[in-house]
Structures are given as structure tokens and as C-alpha cells.
Amino acid sequence: MEINYIQAVRDIFSKREAPPLCCVHSYGCQQNVSDGEKLKGQLCLMGCGVTDDMTAADIIILNTCAVRENAELKVYGNIGELKRLKEQKPDMLIAVGGCMGQEPKTAEKIKKSYRHVDIVFGTFAAKELPRLIYEALTQRTFIVDTAERNTECFEDIPAVRSEKYKAGVSIMYGCNNFCSYCIVPYVRGRERSRSPEKIIEEIKRLVSDGCKEIMLLGQNVNSYGRGLEEKIDFPELLRRIDNIDGDFRVRFMSPHPKDATKEFFDVIAESKKICRSVHLPLQSGSDRILKAMNRRYTAEQYMDMVEYARKVMPGLSISTDIIVGFPNETYEDFKQTLDIVKAVKYDNIFSFIYSKRTGTKAAEIIDHTSEEDKGKWFRELLAVQREISEEHYKRFLGAEFDVLFDGTYKEEFISGKSGEFIITLVKGSPELIGTMRKVRVTKTHNWAVEGELV
Ligand code: 5AD
Ligand code: SF4
């Protein structure tokens, strides 16, 4: 007989004096944060309360990211720090999940060197959490689940969201692109799209719940729909979402330049609710490196795409991801990246030094470029972008932004993001947080703008 693990864990917890508290800490991208909200949702179904304070928690889940080595080192540092906590509270459960959890080498390392961890589970086992917790509670042995299950989407699991007014909605999972540097296809599996009905139903529910900004999430949103029975693609999904009634706006993360069609930009241009900002990961401006990265576009095709996007949306704000120091990159290659950065004038770039990920194609390349050069080029890129932002943000002076406030900055500022995804600061009261207000820009910096409520 199949055990109802949620109920079984509830029964165990109900014998305790007070309901246990869980703390789920997510690293990395928005998709992972969204997965973390669903891990919390399952823990609540099992009778747990939620806390952000690890020292108060009876169950801690580190929902990890494997995209770069730095992220992994941070996780191992944090796992190490939990040892003392576990010594004080031997009954607590510590679990390591997410993208690192999917890699078998993680479980091996944790089993050997971090004996205070109870469970290691991969992204595919996220829905198995009730069983894993049940096994850990009843067997008190080291529980590992890194099995590959490639079919299901994370459907029908309630999310515990940290913010009422903003939400990430996954539209697809996994990635089929196999960019040669990237571990994601290995730890998140093949592309699976959610049904449009489920997505639209979820958005309607969020909007009627007061949500003002929906971020559509996927590793490669514009391959949405491939493999679904119904013939639908990302532009069509955007159209349907744009037609949902209500006072909210829509963003998405991230499209792949190779799949960004004219229709995709036309739909954004014609829409009422989709923000005029797109993230278009360039990675490199050198055709030689783009080929080695398996990105499947050239610098020229990328520039044509940007030109078209700006033609149909003159004020469009564009951001990007750039990797500096791909194996055997030369300064000539890097200069071509700089050329594109200067030509596009991004509003924001997220730049990373290449990090070797075992198991990927690029990891097999013998790299002759020195770490010192990579660091030097990386700093050069940051300096160039700082100047561009400084200049480019001036175009916003006097503009009116729709800002969704979500936090504070220093003592005196309330901060939020505009539709263009620009950090906007105003002097005001914390009651602004969670509201969408019009702001006139009065001052610009190279990372944010300041303004007044209109
Ligand atoms: N090294 C450095 N950066 C990477 N990214 C993905 N894999 C690596 C890697 N091995 C960056 C890419 C991607 C972003 C999410 O992370 O720029 O767009
Ligand atoms: Fe990684 Fe490329 Fe897939 Fe993005 S599109 S997740 S960079 S393989």
C-alpha cells in the first residue's frame, strides 16, 4: 500500500509539544527561489511553521545553486556552520537540495565530510520531500535521492511566497540547449512546459490575491510550448497572459537570443501589461567564443535583434549576462564583447568569470588563458559598463516610472523597481512597500535613479 507521506509526517509532528519550524534558504536564480517556495509549501502541509531564522528551525533546507563554483563554496561554508547548531539540537533535520543536490558528487562529499547533514536530494526529487523527511525521521540514516525523473512538472504544490505583491510563476522547467559551459541541463533535465491553462489559472489566482507583478520563469522561456499537445509558443502565451483582467504587470526570465523572433518583440510592443525591459544574455561578443559556447547565434545576429527590438520599442531597457574568460579566450575576443557592450548600451549587465563545471563540454578544454588576465578583463568590463550606465541613465531624467516598492535603502529611502527594471529610490514612508506608484525621476546614478511621487 502506498503511504501518504504528508499525513505520516504530520502524525509524527503532532506528537510534539509544538509544531516544528522549517527554514528554507534558496541560493541562485529566481527559478530556484520559486522552487524553494514550493518546498516550504510542502513543509506547511506536513504541519510545519515557517521561519527565516535558522537558529530557531527544526528543519533546515539549503536549496542550492550549482551554476558557478563560488555559489557551491558558499553553500559548503554554510553547511559547515550548521554543525554547531546540530550539536545543540541533535533532533533537528538538515537537508541539502536543489541543483547541487542533483549532482551525485555532492552527496558523496557530504556523506564523507559533513556528517551532520541528514538528507541530500536533487531538483527532480523536490516533490519527494514528504517521503524523504519521513524516512529521515523514522530511519535516522543518511537519505539520498539523486534519481533522474524527467517527466513531471512541479504542479499542484502550494507555494509559501515571501512577498504578497510579487510572484514568480514557472512556465517551464529544464533546458535543452547545452551551452558548453553550463551545468543547468545536467541538473535540471530536459525542457518541460506547463500547460497554458495551469499557468493562466495560477496567474489569475495570484492577481485576485493582490499580486501586482508576475515574473514568468524558465531557463529558456522562448522555447516554451515545445512538446505540449496544444500548439502554442511563447509569444502566444504572452498574448493570453496580457489579456487576463486585472491591475498587474508581467516580466519574464530569461529568453535565449537564438529563439528571440520578431514576433516575440512585436507581442511585447503591442501588449498592455508586459514591461518594456528584456534580459538578453549575450555571454560573449566573439563569434569564435560563441561557437565554442554552443550559443547558436553570431554577434551580428544578436545586434540585428537588438536593433529590431529598439525599432519596435524605442525606450526598451535591455540587460544581459556576460561570461569573461571562457577557456582560451583572448583579449581580441574579449574586446569584441566590449564592442557589443558599448554598442548596445545595456541598462544592466550581470558579468561572471568563467567557472569550470565538471561534466560540461567546456570543462574538457585545456585552458591556456591565465586567471590574472581574466580578472583584469572582468574589471575592465565593469568599469566600461559603469560609465555607460552613468551616461545612459541620464535619459530617464524627468521621466515618469511606475514603481513597485519592495524595500528600503539606507535610512531615508524606500526602494523599488520600475517597469524598465531600474532601481528607483524615493523619500517616503515604509507604507509604500507593496504599492505601485508613479514616480518622476529627478536624479540619476550609475546603478539607480532617485525621484518623487507624482
Ligand atoms: N561560469 C560562469 N558563468 C556561468 N553562467 C552559467 N554557467 C556559467 C559558468 N560555468 C552564467 C551565464 C548565465 C548565467 C545565469 O550564469 O551568464 O546566463
Ligand atoms: Fe545554461 Fe544555456 Fe540552458 Fe541558459 S540556455 S540554462 S546558459 S544551457
Does residue 32's CB lie within 6 angstroms of at least one atom of ligand 2?
no
> How high is the pLDDT of residue 18?
94
Overall average pLDDT of the 159-178 stretch: 93
Distance 323 CA to ligand 1 centre (A): 6
Q: Is 326 in the pocket of ligand 1 (CB under 6 A)?
A: no
Q: What is the structure's pLDDT at 156?
A: 76
Q: For residue range 251-286, list pLDDT tens digits in order.
A: 999 999 999 999 999 999 999 999 999 999 999 999
Q: Is 256 in the pocket of ligand 2 (CB under 6 A)?
A: yes
- CB of 144 closer than 6 angstroms to any ligand 1 atom: no
- Mean local confidence (pLDDT), 235-251: 97
Name the pLDDT band for 401 (thresholds 50, 70, 90): very high
Alpha-carbon distances, residue 372 vs 39, 193, 261, 289 (angstroms): 40, 42, 38, 19
Instruction: Report whether pLDDT(84) > 90.
Output: yes
235-166-253 Cα angle (round to 5)? 40
Which ligand has the nearest atom to the CA of 218?
2
Percent of the chain with pLDDT over 90: 96
Of all ligands present, the nearest one to the C-alpha of 284 is 1
Q: Is the CB of 254 under 6 A from ligand 2?
A: no
Q: Whose CA is nearest to atom 2 of ligand 2?
A: 179
In the reported structure, the alpha carbon of residue 324 is separated from the centroid of ligand 1 by a whole-number distance in angstroms of 10
Lowest-confidence segment of 29-33, 294-298, 303-307, 413-417 by average pLDDT: 29-33
Is pLDDT of 154 > 80?
A: no
Nearest ligand 2 atom to the CA of 182 is 1
Q: Evaluate: CB of 28 within 6 angstroms of ligand 2.
A: no
Whether the pLDDT of residue 158 is over 90: the answer is no
- Band of the pLDDT at 301, cuts 50, 70, 90? very high
Give the confidence band of 130 by pLDDT, cuts at 50, 70, 90: very high
The model's confidence at residue 155, banded by pLDDT at 50, 70 and 90, is: confident
Which residue of 27, 67, 284 sits with most ligand 1 atoms within 8 Å of its CB, as the best mutation to test the pocket? 67
Question: Looking at residue 151, what is its pLDDT?
Answer: 62
Ligand 2 within 6 A of 348 CB?
A: no
For the Cβ of 185 lying below 6 angstroms from any atom of ligand 2, the answer is yes
Using the mean position of ligand 2's atoms as its centre, give its distance from the Cα of residue 183 in Å.
8
| CA of 135 relative to ligand 1 center, distance in Å | 35
**Domains contained in the chain, CATH given:** 5-145 (3.40.50.12160), 163-275 (3.30.750.210), 281-395 (3.30.750.200), 397-453 (2.40.50.140)
Å from CA of 222 to ligand 1 middle: 18
Residue from 102, 219, 226, 258 whose mutation best tests the ligand 2 pocket (most atoms within 8 A of CB) = 219
> Rounded mean pLDDT of 295-306?
98
Residue 185 in contact with ligand 1 by CB distance below 6 A: no
**pTM flag (> 0.85):** yes
What pLDDT, in 10s, does the model give residues 211-225? 999 999 999 999 999
Among the bound ligands, the one closest to the CA of 321: 1
Whether residue 293 has its Cβ less than 6 Å from ligand 1: no
Tell me what the pLDDT averaged over the chain comes to.
Answer: 96
Confidence class of residue 1 from pLDDT cuts 50, 70 and 90? low
Q: Residue 368: what pLDDT?
A: 98
Question: What's the confidence (pLDDT) of residue 133?
Answer: 97
Atom of ligand 1 nearest to the CA of 360: 10
Considering every ligand atom shown, identify the ligand nearest to the alpha carbon of residue 323 and give its number.
Answer: 1
**Ligand 1 pocket member 378 (CB < 6 A):** no
Banded model confidence at residue 447, pLDDT cuts 50, 70, 90 = very high
| Residue 104: band (very low, low, confident or very high) from pLDDT cuts 50, 70, 90 | very high
Q: How far is the CA of 70 from the centre of ligand 1 (A)?
A: 11
User: Is there an atom of ligand 2 within 6 Å of 279 CB?
Assistant: no
Atom of ligand 1 nearest to the CA of 67: 7
Mutate to test the pocket of ligand 1, among 323, 348, 349 (most ligand atoms within 8 A of CB): 323
State the ligand closest to the CA atom of 28: 1
pLDDT over 90 at 315, yes or no: no
Averaged pLDDT, 421-449: 96
